[in-house]
Structure 1
């Protein structure tokens, strides 16, 4: 292996480690919020008992509305059947929502995957990060990411679609051109390498107004 290739591999590995660390930090932050809400559960119950004892039905109703809003910010929105996929998807959905990006997700993984958690994290994390970055170029009301995951026979199918700033992207080799930094390119290289190593199929398609990435990973 040439010095240049070794340097590239080293930088890709460094990017991968940074990516995984970021994902786990996002997951940990989400779980901290959930633990915080649970910690306050008894206090919430006590407060409603006080309001009930005072006959303050309006106060109870208002308090319940506030709790409902608070719970929606920490509740797990996706349950695929795979713990790692749940962790990554929910942390990324939370991140997207904090940036005024609407996410439509339909994800089901009813079987045990033979793909490693590390590889799954890299693939889903890169797809979501790319979609979030592209969505930020649009006005808040136009920011939409669509995620679909399910089994197609013995293959795991993953599809990510995000809307773009109204122009078709140009391909440079196997990938599309980007205005993002160097790390973004390493992320794509790493993801493509994982799909190739697993004997999978990857397709990227840029049509006016939308960008879609589709992946098939054999699981049989």
Structure 2
């Protein structure tokens, strides 16, 4: 029995390692895509200025106003609305918010990290990215008017507190072997929650999940200093 348990643990560790690599690669490409769009826009800025100069010289104020409105809309889409004080958290939160918006999900983030964290950037990226991915997946399957994600991050004394709440299908989500299961499947297994749990455990943190009718919440506390 002991041998079987060790073999299962080794298999789970291998699956988590492969999942971690795939997850980080996915997050990297999402963030890179967001910043690539911003670099392209900055590269085109000189052309935008020249175009506006021509419209101003011609006295075509109506077209100039329309052009400025278009640029303003584009800047709004490219701007990073969340500025937590932590570069890694900003990158992953804003990239995930962009993905959620494309799926018609109402996302609201209230995140403030005024101190330098002891948490490794890769662990922070994995926790936020995983929780956001699960929230997007759960909300995306609902009617558009019901899709919602709420994120809260702040320091609670010497602890970093994270809370993710998303709408979910009707009914309380059941537990399997004492834990909730993500519906996400990578390499045939739902490893998202297990990966978050592994990081929180390694960092001596605390995690709690709660499934109520139509909503799912994950809360995490991570000690700092």
Residue 83 of structure 2 aligns to a residue in which SS?
coil
Give the CA deviation at 1:209. Answer: 1.4
User: Equivalent of 2:143, from 139, 146, 158?
Assistant: 139
Contact 1:135 1:162 in 2 (8 A): yes
Matched-pair contact (CA < 8 Å) for 2:164–2:219: yes
Which segment drifts farther, 27-36 or 132-141? 132-141
Q: Which residue of structure 1 aligns with residue 57 of structure 2?
A: 53
Instruction: Give the whole-Å Cα distance in 1 for the aligned partners of 2:41 and 2:7.
Output: 52
- Quick check: 1:104–1:147 contact (8 Å CA) kept in 2? yes
- Compute the displacement of 1:182 (Å): 4.8
Deviations 1:163-183 (A, max 9, x none): 112221011134224443255
Query: What TM-score does the superposition give when structure 1 sets the normalisation length?
Result: 0.96
Partner residue, 2:222: 217
For the Cα contact (< 8 Å) 1:81–1:109, is it kept in 2? yes
In structure 1, the gaps of 5 or more residues are: none
Is the contact between residue 143 and residue 163 of structure 1 (CA under 8 Å) also seen in structure 2?
yes
Unmatched segments (≥5 aa) in structure 2: none
Aligned residues, how many?
220
Q: Where does residue 158 of structure 2 map in the other structure?
A: 154
- SS state of the match for residue 47, structure 1? helix
Distance 1:156 1:139 in 2: 33
2:123 aligns with one of 111, 119, 125: 119
Residue 207 of structure 1: CA displacement?
0.8
**Deviating 4+ runs (over 4 angstroms):** none
Cα distance in 1, alignment partners of residues 118 and 146 from structure 2 = 37
- Report the TM-score when normalising by structure 2: 0.94
CA-atom RMSD in angstroms: 1.3
